[in-house]
Every structure is written in structure tokens, then in C-alpha cells.
Amino acid sequence: MRKRTKIALTVLAAIIVLAVILGSIVFLDVAAYTATGAKTLTPTGTSLGKAIVIYDPGLSGAAKGVADKVAADLQTSGYTVTLAGIKSSAAAHTTGYQIIVVGGPVYGGALTASVKACLNNLKPDQGAKVGVFGSGEMATTPSEITMMKNSVSALSSTGTLSNAVVVKIGQSENLTTRAQDFVNQLT
């Protein structure tokens, strides 16, 4: 009996430790610290302007896939695009862009801390269009979009984000269509 109790307590302790570690990874947004790279995508022909897509890859990497697709669609639309990880030096310099897109995963209905911090520190040029995307497992609901829009608007004390285009793209949704719709709203 004592041996079974010890085994059960050991298993329970291991489960608790694992839960704390996994919770820390999600809530401390550890995946964002891996997003340090940046690359430039140039359009064929004359560039219509400059755009930057800043992303937090999230744990699954799905948000990076959304960022890649949005950047490619902006490039196809004629923009010179900087695709930048949220912890890259390129992400810290957002002046000189006509379009600024920031996005990452949605956990528990909210954008990650790194995305919120990036948006909070964003200083877009006057006239620049700002887009925010969230990536998640479930299909998008109207209440999620409203919650994300309210969260994004609340981040800017100067009101620069009140007109941001906000979308969430669920993994079960058609990425090609949803990303193109998002880009169409920005261009």
C-alpha cells in the first residue's frame, strides 16, 4: 500500500511540474524569443511602397505560416515587404512603411504578450495602414474579433490603432482566401 501511494504521489508531482512548465511556455511567450530573423521580399516590377509583417511564431508555428502568406500576398500586390520576427531588430523600426502588419497566436482568446507589447510601442507614420492578425485552432467567431479589436484599440493611448484592420485566421479556415481578404483590406 505504501509503495502504491509513493508511486501515485510521484506521478502526481511529475504531472504538476509538467503542467507548470507548459503553462510557463505559453504564458511567458517563450516562442517569441526564437523569432529573431528578417528577410526582404521584392516585387516583380516597380514597388508601390514598403510593408512590414512582424510575427510571433507561437508554439505550433501556425502564426508564422500566416505571416508568410500575408507577406507573399503583399509582395504580389506590388510592395517591397520586410518579414520580421517579433524579436528582430527590423521589428523595432517601423517608420517608413506604408503598411504595418503585426500578428501571432491567440491563446485563451487573447493575443500574446509579445504582440501586445509590439503594438503598444508601434509608432506608425501618418497615413500608414496597420493590420493585426491572430492565429488559432478554432474557426473565427464575431465575438473573438470584437474582443481582439477592443484589445488592440486599448493598446494605443494616441488612438493610432483605432482604425487597425483586425482578423483572426483559424487553422481550419482557408488560409489562402483569408490572408488575401486581409491584404485586400490593407491595400
Whether residue 89 is predicted with pLDDT greater than 80 in this model: the reply is yes
**Domain map of the chain by residue range?**
31-186
Is residue 65 within 8 A of residue 133, CB to CB? The reply is no
| pLDDT tens digits, 121-143 | 888 888 999 999 999 876 667 77
Percentage of residues of the chain with pLDDT beyond 90: 37
Q: What is the pLDDT of residue 27?
A: 54
**What confidence category does residue 184 fall into, taking pLDDT thresholds of 50, 70 and 90?**
very high
- Positions of E strands within the chain: 38-41, 49-55, 79-85, 99-107, 110-111, 129-136, 165-170
Architecture of domain 31-186: 3-Layer(aba) Sandwich (3.40)
Average pLDDT over residues 55-71: 90
Q: Distance between CA 38 and CA 59 in Å, rounded? A: 19
Whether residue 25 is predicted with pLDDT greater than 60 in this model: the reply is no
